Amino acid sequence: MSVLDETYTLSNGVEIPRLGLGTWFIDDDKAADAVRAAVAIGYRNIDTAQAYGNERGVGEGVRTSPVPRDELFVSSKLAAEIKDHDQAVAAIDGSLVKLGLDHIDLMLIHSPQPWDDFGGDGYDQGNREAWRALEEAHRAGRVRSIGVSNFQQHDLENILQGATVVPHVNQLLVHAGNTPFELLAYCESKQILVEAYSPIAHGSILQNAEVQAVAAKYGVSVPQLCIRYTLQLGTVSLPKTANPDHMRSNAEVDFEISGDDMDVLRGLRDVDYGEHSVFPVYGGK
């Protein structure tokens, strides 16, 4: 059985494939081809966001693939700037229209703060308002599961204060060199599944001698090792690519990293994101 056939079960009983396709930086006019290629290879988990500007293309790829809609898991995210109930309601409607789908399998709040104030405060009430809109869409069956992204423990506790639904997912920056152990443990304690975005990291991790040595031991590439690492942490792994060869390679991770080597990777502290450092989630502000 390939990793592409493996799933986790969310706290509400919905199954989510363990390996997905991230679509950040895939242009809208190229997204449909990327999705169709991924589905042909065997991917069943497709992740997009309002901020990516490619929901239309992703939806086209989903609708025109030969695989039935109910066999695909499609995620999107509310724009980080939306911290208001009515705006969130309208934005959820907007995503469904752009995707051209009658339901979304997972909808997230993209960030606890707007991107231009990432890490700032004063958004607790707004996040609760946006969450209420997601809960309503979930109750109505238009969104099968709901969650958050980039939420720290405080942000999760804030949501939980008045929530009728505990977030099913928290999508986080997780990779060898950046493993947020305490936050992962907190999410597990609340039955919140973590999705790892950018599992292959950026920049220097690909040239890290320790990572290269571990990859060589298993006869795999550094990206394959990094994806496998996030899977063995118990997260959904969401490598992003529009290249079908990379999609295939990213799914060839049916090997097991030993406990000792997992410890080596857990101990890495390598967070030089190179050109991507300008993005808030990679430390820029």
Instruction: Name 100's Cβ contacts closer than 8 Å, sequence gap at least 6.
Output: 56, 59, 60, 63
Within the chain, residue ranges assigned H as helices are 28-41, 55-64, 85-99, 124-139, 153-162, 181-189, 209-218, 222-232, 244-251, 259-266
Nearest-angstrom CA–CA distance, 48 and 38: 14
Q: Which of 43, 52, 197, 273 is catalytic?
A: 52
Spatial contact of 205 and 177, defined as CB atoms under 8 Å apart: yes
Active site residue 52: yes
* Cα 209 to Cα 201: distance, rounded to the nearest angstrom: 15
Residue 272 burial (10 A CB sphere; 0-12, 13-18, 19+): middle
The two beta strands, 15-17 and 7-9, are antiparallel
Q: How far apart are CA 255 and CA 280, in angstroms?
A: 33
Please, is 243 exposed, middle or buried when counting C-beta atoms within 10 Å of its C-beta (0-12, 13-18, 19+)? Answer: exposed
- As annotated, the active-site residues are 52
